[in-house]
Copies of this chain bind each other. A is one copy, B any other.
């Protein structure tokens, strides 16, 4: 498979999921008061966190495949599985936004995030094996930490549901910081 079409399809799906998320934020058509904004607040926070999550997925996906030349069927279908977990995010995010203090939606959301991250871990190891990428050790350490945070978040969300967002936020801060550190170190090496 040509890498360009593979990336373009992945990008299109991610862009659509990112934008479909917002369809759940419906400001009340029968009220124009400030209080109707505070009612939407939990949904809005859910939206912000998932938006950043999907943006991070896109940026990480780009960096992973920028080093890739060969896309085989295994990589193709694991990537489709990753898109599948991502495609469930609008539904699980909306449910958690509606019930920010309930454990079932919180655990479902954290499970969705965890399953995505496990799939990405598999995808990354497949890509690394297939393309003989050498600088992969650091990435794996980062991913194990990320997986640890996701698992912990899943467990804490049973007792304190809003932690599903807090745990994911910590995870995202680490990923985005690493991107900037990577950027700086690359600049210094020039």
- Taking CB atoms, residues of chain B closer than 8 Å to A11 are 5, 8-9, 12
Q: How many copies does the complex hold?
A: 4
A87: Cβ under 8 A from any B Cβ: yes
Q: How large is the interface on A (under 10, 10 to 19, 20 to 34, 35 or more residues)?
A: 35 or more
- Contact with A95, one of B1, B27, B73 (Cβ below 8 angstroms): B27
- Taking CB atoms, residues of chain B closer than 8 Å to A19 are 13, 16-17, 20, 87
- Taking CB atoms, residues of chain B closer than 8 Å to A176 are 77
Residue in chain B with minimal CB distance to A97? B29
A13 in contact with B18 given A32-B102, A37-B104 (CB within 8 Å) = yes
- Contact with A32, one of B66, B105, B179, B182 (Cβ below 8 angstroms): B105
Residue in chain B with minimal CB distance to A2? B66
Chain A positions 119-149 with a Cβ under 8 Å from a chain B Cβ: none
- Taking CB atoms, residues of chain B closer than 8 Å to A94 are 26-27, 29
Whether B51 contacts A87 by the Cβ 8 Å rule is yes
- Taking CB atoms, residues of chain B closer than 8 Å to A87 are 18-19, 21-22, 51
CB distance from A155 to the nearest CB of B (A): 17
Whether B18 contacts A20 by the Cβ 8 Å rule is no
A76: Cβ under 8 A from any B Cβ: yes
Beyond the given A2-B62, A15-B16, could you list 11 further A-B residue pairs with CB under 8 A, ordered by the A residue number? A2-B66, A12-B15, A12-B16, A13-B15, A26-B91, A27-B92, A32-B102, A37-B104, A55-B83, A73-B179, A77-B176
Footprint of B on A, CB under 8 Å?
Answer: 1-2, 5, 7-9, 11-23, 25-27, 29, 32-34, 37, 48, 51, 55, 58-59, 62-63, 66, 72-74, 76-77, 80, 83-84, 87-88, 90-92, 94-95, 98-99, 102, 104-105, 108, 176, 179-180, 182-183
